[in-house]
Structure 1
Amino acid sequence: MNKESLKVGLAQIAPVWLDRIQTTAKIIAYINQAGRQGCQLVAFGEGVLPGYPFWIELTQGARFNAADQKQMHALYCQQAVQIERGDLDDICKALKEHQMACYLGIIERPVDRGGHSLYCAIVYINEQGVIKSVHRKLQPTYEERLTWSPGDGNGLVTHRLGPFTVGGLNCWENWMPLARTSLYAQGEDLHVANWPGSIRNTHDITPMMAKEGRSFVMSVSGLMRPADFPEDLPCYDQLMANSADDYLTDGGSCLCAPDGSFVIEPQVGEEGLYVAEIAHHKVYEERQNFDPVGHYSRPDVLQLSVNRKRLNHLGEFD
Structure 2
Amino acid sequence: MKDQLLTVALAQISPVWLDKTATIKKIENSIAEAASKKAELIVFGESLLPGYPFWVSLTDGAKFDSKIQKEIHAHYAQNSIVIENGDLDTICELAAECNIAIYLGIIERPIDRGGHSLYASLVYIDQKGEIKSVHRKLQPTYEERLTWAPGDGNGLLVHPLKAFTVGGLNCWENWMPLPRAALYGQGENLHIAVWPGSDYNTKDITRFIARESRSYVISVSSLMRTEDFPKTTPHLDEILKKAPDVLGNGGSCIAGPDGEWVMKPVLHKEGLLIETLDFSKVLQERQNFDPVGHYSRPDVTQLHVNRKRQSTVRFDE
Q: TM-score, normalised by structure 1?
A: 0.99
Deviations 1:240-270 (A, max 9, x none): 11013x3101000001100111111101011
Tell whether 2:7 aligns with 1:7. Answer: yes
Aligned residue identity for 1:110: P
Query: Does the 8 Å CA contact 2:254/2:263 hold for their aligned counterparts?
Result: yes
Counterpart of 1:287 in structure 2 is 286
Is contact 1:223-1:269 (8 Å) kept?
A: yes
Counterpart in 2 of 1:65?
A: 65
Query: Are 2:237 and 1:237 equivalent residues in the alignment?
Result: yes
- What is the match of residue 207 of structure 1? 207
Give per-residue Cα distances to partners, 1:64-111, cap 9 Å, x unaligned. 001011000100100000000100001001111111101000000000
Instruction: Show the counterpart of 1:167.
Output: 167
Following superposition, the deviation at residue 232 of structure 1 comes to 2.8
Trace 1:88-127 onto structure 2 (pairs within 5 A): 88-127=88-127
Residue identity in the other structure for 2:137: K
CA contact (8 A) 1:45 1:221 kept: yes
Counterpart Cα distance in 1 of 2:81 and 2:106: 7
**Preserved contact between residue 83 and residue 108 of structure 2 (Cα < 8 Å):** yes
User: Percent identity of the aligned residues?
Assistant: 58
Alignment root-mean-square deviation, CA: 0.8
Alignment-mate amino acid for residue 145 of structure 2: R
Gaps of 5+ in 1: none
| 3-state SS, counterpart of residue 9 of structure 2 | strand
Give the deviation of 1:234 after TM superposition: 2.6
Contact 2:75/2:234 (<8 A) preserved: no
When normalised by structure 2's length, the TM-score is 0.99
Q: Is the 8 A contact 1:139 1:150 kept in 2?
A: yes
User: How many corresponding residue pairs?
Assistant: 317
For 1:34 and 1:228, how far apart are their aligned partners in 2? Answer: 22
Distance 2:29 2:233 in 1: 26
CA distance in 1, matches of 2:152, 2:45: 20
Determine if contact 2:11/2:30 at 8 Å carries over to the other structure: yes
Aligned partner of 1:258 in structure 2 is 257
Aligned to 1:297: 296
Is the 8 Å Cα contact of residues 154 and 308 (structure 1) preserved in structure 2? yes
> What do the CA deviations read for 1:259-311 (whole angstroms, capped 9, x no partner)?
11111110101111001110000000100100000000000000000000000
Listed as ranges, the matches of 1:187-206 within 5 Å are 187-206=187-206
Structure 2 CA distance, aligned partners of 1:200 and 1:315?
42
- Provide the rounded CA distance (Å) in 1 between the counterparts of 2:240 and 2:19: 19
2:274 paired residue number: 275
| SS of residue matched to 1:248 | strand
Which residue does the alignment assign to 1:317?
316
CA distance in 2, matches of 1:290, 1:171: 25
Structure 2 distance, partners of 1:262, 1:93, is 34
- Local SS of the residue matching 1:27: helix
Q: Distance in 2 between matches of 1:94 and 1:193?
A: 23
CA distance in 2, matches of 1:26, 1:230: 14
CA deviations over 1:117-145 (Å, ceiling 9, x no partner): 00000000000000000000000000000
What are the ranges of 5 or more consecutive residues in structure 2 without an aligned counterpart? none
Is 1:54 matched up with 2:37? no
Which residue is equivalent to 1:308? 307
